[in-house]
Structure 1
Amino acid sequence: MSTNRSALDQIHIQIQWNRLLSVVEEQAQTLVRTAFSTSAREAGDISAGVFDTDGQMLAQAVTGTPGHVNAMAASVCFFLEVYPIDTMKDGDVYITNDPWKGTGHLNDITVVTPTFLDGKPVGLFACTSHVVDIGGRGFGPDGRQVYEEGINIPIMPLAREGEVDRGLLHLIKVNVRNPIEVEGDIYSLMACNEVGGRRLVEMMREFGMTDLGELGRHIIESSRAGMLEEIGKLPKGTYRNSMRIDGFESEVDLVGSLTVSEDGIDIDFDGTSGTSRYGINVPLTYTQAYASFGVRCVIGGSIPNNAGSLGVIRITAPEGSILNAPPPCAVAARHVIGQMLPDVMLGCLNHIIPDKVPAEGTSCLWNPVLLGGRGIVDGDYGDSRPFAMNTFHTGGTGARPGKDGMDATSFPSGVRNTPVEVNETIAPLIFWKKEYRTDSGGAGTYRGGTGQVMEIAHADGKPFAISSMFDRVIHPPRGRNGGANGQTGKIYLKSGPKLQGKGRQTIPAGDTLVLEMPGGGGLGSPADRDPATLAIDVRDGFVSEAAAREAYGWTEPQLVAGDD
């Protein structure tokens, strides 16, 4: 009988766990559906999760990005250091965008809300969203210190017992270029946590729970044990990889070592380049977020992401390196470096599980910030409508074991491309072209994902500015295990001049901006690619006939024979 009861208890607690996952997913969907900015509403550049009263993450929403989720997992403890749980009251809401205590740069606003059951705090909901503008120089890498990059909101109350701090909202609104969108997103963040809290209380009443103690312990202990079991299948030892990327004022070396032991995985970035003079530096929480995600992509992927599974992956980086930049380093474009870290980790793991590791991809987003208005551009802007818009796009991912890379798909961030039609409604711009970039994916048994080409012009023929935060312009995504490199990206004017991969630059009146995004690296020898698959690539324009002959060594009759 006791065995049966134990089995029933396990089923009961698993139902509670699944219900908690549905709670945080509804929490995230509330944010997406009520958000004002395209970054949240269209791209899904958000995170949402539920935490116990000690600040341990119990569950995260599927909707969201690893950089936000895993950094937010650490940030809730920073909130509790300033405002202990026993000082919080029902209706309180707390806010910050501190890069070192949030998710890495000022454009990400994190909101934390306690949830009460019968007057007792039982949990915390947290969420993050990237807002379109936070003042200062605007979203871009040009700043020299964080003070230039926008308004910095320390951990502080946004609402007390249900009363919103209107003065704080007003202060934020008068310091940003898009006050309506930013204020709307803050209210969406509050609503997101409120819905999560309501659903949690409903769940707890339904199951007769007075706290999350037993469920939380089960989640954390089970997830920790599951991850250790998966890690235990790997050979013990230390494995190293390095990657050179473009950087800003100079190239950057990302050097990682990954040590597998009985009690988890330890990652160290000793040997990585020092901090930059510009805003591409990475706070440690963001480094930890993407390095741990790189490991989780191929180890323990079926185990839920929470304090238990994350706790057995420990990450350090030397203070003063670009991956552990101290205040007041500029950090606005920290993603352009931080999103490369999964590729570094996968390179380490390729030493021991090469059959599970993809090739390198574009990795960092190609998300141009486009701006127009007096004082922003070189030249006369006239009476054309001013704007500031962050549009999300990317190149190809690396080829995967048994599959080609994904075309024009964001990895590791997971955010969606923002539709051209939406972009054109919120800014006086015309997107003349958006198409796949032929031959950009590296050749291999499995081809690297294809990048894309975009052409953008001002609808009124005025000058406008781009804040470039692009990498893989000098150094391509590398192929793996015999696969060829993907193509590097390009940024230039249609009239001819090249632009830099990083920094604010003006597109002159009447000219057109052209972005050619990188392709992912190939995996395995190109000679082993299936002829019929290559024929389809040629037919669909992903690979040109010339590249098929040169890179794959196949003749045209073979291509024709495979074409249907």
Structure 2
Amino acid sequence: MLDNAAPRPKISLIDKQVMWNRLLAVVEEQAQVCQRTAFSTIVRESGDLAAGVFDAKGRMLAQAVTGTPGHINSMALAVGHVINAYPPETMKPGDVFIHNDPWMGTGHLNDISLTTPCFLGDKLIGFLACNSHVLDIGGMQDMSSSRDVFMEGLYLPILKIVSGGRMNESLMAVIRANTRQPVETVGDVYSLINCNAVGCERLLDMMAEFNLTELDELADHVIDTSYNAVLAKVAKLPKGTWHSSITLDGQGGEPITLKAALTISDSGIHVDYAGSAGMTKHNFNVPLCYTLAYTSYALGVAIVRDVPNNAGSLAPRTVSAPEGCIVNALKPAAVVSRHLIGLMLPDLVFGALRQAIPDQIPAEGAGVLWNIRASGPWQSPPVFGNGFIVGVVTTGGMGALPYRDGMSATGFPSGVRGGPIEIFESMSTIVVWRKEFRQDSGGAGAFRGGLGQAMEFENSIPETFNFANIFERIKYPALGAFGGANGANGYMGLASGRSMPDKGLYAVAPGERVLVQSPGGGGVGDPAGRERHLVARDLEYGLISEKAARELYGYTE
């Protein structure tokens, strides 16, 4: 080992790149540990989590590929909040910090965040951070009815869940007592603690291999290189300001309009949401951290692309929004369904970018995940307190790009994978009778929008169960671009004919089947210009009907 008192030789560029890759491997193993030990189905099956490594200043150096933009990009700020609450000089080996504050985390109470300071001996060298979604954190079961954040469940400020290696059993008891799923929720907390511990071990292994006693020089290389790489990409773009707007379903007959002004300059890209709707009495208000997360993601996939995600590559992407507007909601606004607005922000950003770089930007897509969430009794007759709460991720269609069809039934822009129906069925009394591509749901175009899904399910026991409708694009479809057609509107209803057009918790009677049809993505370009063999292929595969082939594409065999 080198003498710690002696100045360390400068690290070669090659070694820095190797170490950078090792950091990426560390956080990916960290994320996999979380996913494979999680109790929550949306984490275990769909990857609704984030994991990352930070330097001693709280700057994110690497994040795992496994995870979602809303979790990852908001996690980039979370360690700074922990440092502000607990200065590094007060931290010691074996400490772990927990919180689910929506304004300092990922935007709602269902995501629990853990931060673990990592020590080499007695020296703080960095942090490991992670977060994941728990299905129940108390509060109201109807995820469309809360009117302030205090109705939405247990609110944890930044607290020490482990102190010097000793578990805070009192705090764990509070968590256990405030959820309808105490085993699952507490199990997820232990999963998060463990994944950070594994990440710290692997980080220290890497440092020992390269004889490092601190991360400062490597951190500066990662951040400076990434920052300059993003500015190099921005330098190739046209400069100016472009405007866009989008209208969403909202709730109770009150649609929501979002507006954005996107400015590209030599110093980066800024998105201003002035003019967007104000905060709503409903619960899809969005804390600014979540707005920043999905705005950064939209700019990342459109422009940044292959530059790794870290504090440096995120820095040139900035956001502003008036305090009190729906995308900069203030405490104690209701925010549990913040994804209904947040996941639509990429389409809003793309609407502005489409004017600046039209050959690279997709048409609008389904956006919001169509998560199936149900609850009910395990048996008939029901026994109070003995019930299930289960969720599974389902998805709609992505908008077409100017050079290829949109992907069908995909989680863009969330990054969450669709969950297996078999897991959903095994953890509830629900039977899924049908789950398939929804024919003709992708917007027609020279490049077709991605298809949504058609699903049908009912209870397997003679008892009523509850189904939560917290969807979007039922009234306002994904718009096509450059002559392409809109994607199909989403639909939710019962087989008996009753529709469920608004957000709410619906009681489904025994023997009744629920029909869910997720929306499709918009098409790009005149449908008449679609290559004939592609129309024939879609017809053969059942993705479009004979009527659509004939009337929309002018196809005759």
TM-score, normalised on structure 1?
Answer: 0.95
3-state SS of 1:251 partner? strand
CA distance in 1, matches of 2:524, 2:183: 46
Partners of 2:361 and 2:491 lie apart in 1 by 27
> Kindly tell me: are residues 472 and 100 of structure 1, through their superposed partners in 2, closer, same or farther at Cα, counting changes over 3 Å?
same
Question: Is 2:38 the partner of 1:12?
Answer: no
Q: Say yes or no: does 1:166 pair with 2:169.
A: yes
SS at match of 2:251: coil
Secondary structure of 1:390's counterpart equals strand
The answer to whether 1:275 aligns with 2:279 is yes
- The one-letter code matched in structure 2 to 1:262 is D
Shift of residue 139 of structure 1? 6.6
Aligned: 1:35 with 2:42:
no
The residue identity in structure 1 corresponding to 2:148 is Q
C-alpha contact (below 8 Å) 1:291/1:345 kept by paired residues: yes
Identity of aligned residues (%): 48
Query: Distance between the aligned counterparts of 1:121 and 1:383, measured in 2?
Result: 49
Spell out, residue by residue over 1:380-435, the C-alpha distance to the aligned partner (whole angstroms, 9 max, x if none).
85689511112111111111232211111101111111111111111111011111
Name the structure 1 match of 2:159: 156
Determine which of 201, 204, 221 is the counterpart of 2:204.
201
Alignment-mate amino acid for residue 341 of structure 1? L
| Structure 1 residues 279-323: Cα deviation after superposition (integer angstroms, max 9, x where no partner) | 111000000000111111110201011111101111011111110
Question: Which residue of 2 is the match for residue 469 of structure 1?
Answer: 470
What residue in structure 2 maps to residue 255 of structure 1? Answer: 259
Moved beyond 4 Å, runs of 4+: 379-385
State the distance in 1 between where 2:384 and 2:224 align. Answer: 61
| 1:395-406 aligned within 5 A | 395-406=396-407
Which residue of structure 2 lines up, in the alignment, with residue 100 of structure 1?
103
**2:82 match: secondary structure:** helix
Shift of 1:347: 1.0
Provide the residue aligned with 2:4 in structure 1. none
Question: What do the CA deviations read for 1:490-541 (whole angstroms, capped 9, x no partner)?
Answer: 0001111111341211112221111010000001111111111111111111
| Secondary structure of the structure 2 residue equivalent to 1:519 | coil
In structure 2, what is the Cα distance between the partners aligned to 1:43 and 1:362? 18
Note if 1:183 corresponds to 2:183: no
Q: Which residue of 1 aligns with 2:6?
A: none
Matched, 1:90 2:128: no
Secondary structure, counterpart of 1:552 in structure 2: coil
Query: Aligned partner of 2:297: which letter?
Result: F
- Which residue is 1:338 aligned to? 342
- Kindly provide the amino acid, as one letter, of the partner of residue 290 in structure 1: Y
Deviation of 1:164 (Å): 0.9
Report what 1:505 is aligned to: 506
Q: Retained in 2: the 8 A contact 1:115–1:125?
A: yes
Taking a change above 3 Å as real, the CA distance of residues 536 and 7 of structure 1, as seen in their structure-2 partners, is: farther
Pair 1:370-2:374 in alignment: yes
RMSD, aligned CA = 1.6
Name 1:495's counterpart in structure 2: 496
Which of 342, 345, 363 is the equivalent residue of 1:359?
363
Distance 1:117 1:277 in 2: 49
Deviations, residues 138-192 of structure 1 (Å, cap 9, x unaligned): 3712100111100001100010011111111111112111111111111110011
Q: Does 1:310 align with 2:314?
A: yes
TM-score by length of 2: 0.96
Check conservation: 2:302, 2:361, Cα contact below 8 A.
Answer: yes
- Matched position secondary structure for 2:302: coil
Q: Which deviates more from structure 2 when the two are superposed, residues 130-139 or residues 473-482?
A: 130-139
SS in 2 for 1:488: coil
8 Å Cα contact 1:269-1:317 kept in structure 2:
yes
- Gapped runs of 5+ residues in structure 1? 1-5, 558-564
Matched residues, number: 547
Distance 1:459 1:182 in 2: 26
Q: Which runs of 5+ in 2 are unaligned?
A: 1-8
User: Residue 71 of structure 1 corresponds to which residue in structure 2?
Assistant: 74
Contact 2:142 2:504 in 1 (8 A): no
TM-superposition CA deviations, 1:69-121 (whole Å, max 9, x none) = 00111111111110111111100000000100110000000000000002100
State the match for 2:543 in structure 1.
Answer: 542
Deviation readout 1:202-248 (Å, 9 max, x if unpaired): 11111011111000000100000000010111111101110111111
Distance 1:501 1:172 in 2: 32
